[in-house]
Amino acid sequence: YSNGLFAIPDTMLIIQGPTSYRITGEGDLKTNTIDARAYVNSSEVGPFAKQFGVKGLMGSAEAFLEATGNLKNPDFRGWVNGKKFGMPMLNFEEAIARFGLVNIGEKHFGDIFIEATDGKSDLIKDPMPFAALILRFEGDTAFIRSMRIVGEDVSLEVQGDIIKGSEINLKKFRVTRYGNDLVSLVPISFSLNQDTIRFRDIDFSLNDGRLKMSAEAVNKKVKTAKFSFTNLSIDPVNAFLKGSRGVEGILDGFVEYTEFPGSPRLKASVNLQGANLFGQKYKNIQTDANVADNQVWINKIAITDVNNGSLIGSGTFSCNFPVKNGSPFVKSSDTLRFQFEASDFLMKTFDPVFLSKIPKDGKISGKIEV
């Protein structure tokens, strides 16, 4: 340092855990200018990212950053190359970002271009060979000008903005998978406030069906969640999510979860029309149930077979809810009590769940109590 000029003529090396920094350049306090460069190499980006308020980032990365112009608010340009890079929910084998940010009126404006390959997600079943993202920064807001993820049978398009790194608003959200379209009908807004993720009144169409949801999670634990669905076909839902096969039908109803001290509560009212459960067809299945305090209350279950025979029941049984430490949901020592009334109900309808290897025929009418 001399006469207002501080300089690093030779490279300065700083090592902080898995991250190393190599810095060179100079700044002039008299002219209020800077001309400096930094090279960063990190074998684990998580600790480095936390310093900037970004949690959950994983993988390794190397980066180059150049700062020039105004000392207090310089212009930036550079690049980042990440390996096995991303978040637990979405990560890529390799990602490359190039950026340039210009300071205008003490606010930064500029674009970041990101390309990534061989992506994986907990939500989408198949790998994603390619993804591209263009971000524009204006002050504390990042605008998602274009985001596109392309796989063999899936594509994702997103546009929106991110305010202060925590308030996310998506004006456009569309996913196509095997010809099934999941489209946001209203802008999607959610908050990443410290350890809280909050979704507010998200509304989707899935082909001819509708899906609405609201949720809040704190420290990766769901506090409240509500899903409602109208004319929602299960088959395209299976096309998007990892899940069981062998279930078909049209869903109407809702599922609601609320966290209470001591015991969470789950409430559901569902109607499944044109159901097919593991090869057995039903005209309709309707159920209304609650789960709380290690008890399941089936307020109503009504099954209509393909010949309009019916089985209507209600009851309760004890359980382990929520399931913890690998314990089963229902144990052999749990108790149950059910009442059913059948009217011309086809016996073979029981095949998937009751004595499936024994041929059954005929109809059943009457009352049953268990």
Q: What are phi and psi of 45, to 5 degrees?
A: -80, -10
What confidence tier does 357 reach under pLDDT thresholds 50, 70, 90?
A: low
Instruction: Give the model's pLDDT for residue 216.
Output: 87
Instruction: Give the model's pLDDT for residue 280.
Output: 81
Q: Which amino acid is at 155?
A: S
pLDDT digits (tens, 9 = 90+) for 112-140: 898 988 888 765 666 778 888 887 877 66
The pTM score is 0.64
Which residue has tokens 């299976």? Answer: 238
What confidence tier does 334 reach under pLDDT thresholds 50, 70, 90?
A: confident
Average pLDDT (341-351) is: 86
Average pLDDT (210-237) is: 87
Q: DSSP assignment of 283-309, as one string?
A: SEEEEEEEEETTEEEEEEEEEE-TTS-
Average pLDDT (62-67) is: 94
Percent of the chain topping pLDDT 90:
37
Instruction: Give the model's pLDDT for residue 28.
Output: 92
pLDDT digits (tens, 9 = 90+) for 256-278: 999 877 678 999 999 999 988 77
- Does an H or E element contain 197, and which? strand 196-206
pLDDT digits (tens, 9 = 90+) for 159-201: 888 777 667 888 888 988 878 889 999 888 877 666 777 787 8
320 has pLDDT over 70: yes
106 has pLDDT over 70: no
224 has pLDDT over 80: yes
| Residue 333, burial from CB neighbour count under 10 angstroms (0-12, 13-18, 19+) | exposed
Which residue has tokens 């015991």? Answer: 263
Percent of the chain topping pLDDT 70:
89
Instruction: Give the model's pLDDT for residue 245.
Output: 58
301 has pLDDT over 90: yes
Domain boundaries, the chain: 1-165
Strand 58-70, strand 75-87: pairing: antiparallel
Query: Which structure tokens are listed for 366?
Result: 């009457």
53 has pLDDT over 80: no
What is residue 49's three-state secondary structure? helix
CB 161 within 8 A of CB 143: yes
In sequence order, the 6+-apart residues with CB closer than 8 A to the CB of 150 are 128, 129, 130, 131, 156
More confident residue, 361 or 79: 79
Q: What are phi and psi of 239, to 5 degrees?
A: -65, -25
What is residue 47's three-state secondary structure? helix
Instruction: Give the model's pLDDT for residue 256.
Output: 95
71 has pLDDT over 80: yes
What confidence tier does 252 reach under pLDDT thresholds 50, 70, 90?
A: very high
pLDDT digits (tens, 9 = 90+) for 17-43: 899 999 999 999 999 999 999 999 999
329 has pLDDT over 80: yes
Instruction: Give the model's pLDDT for residue 18.
Output: 92
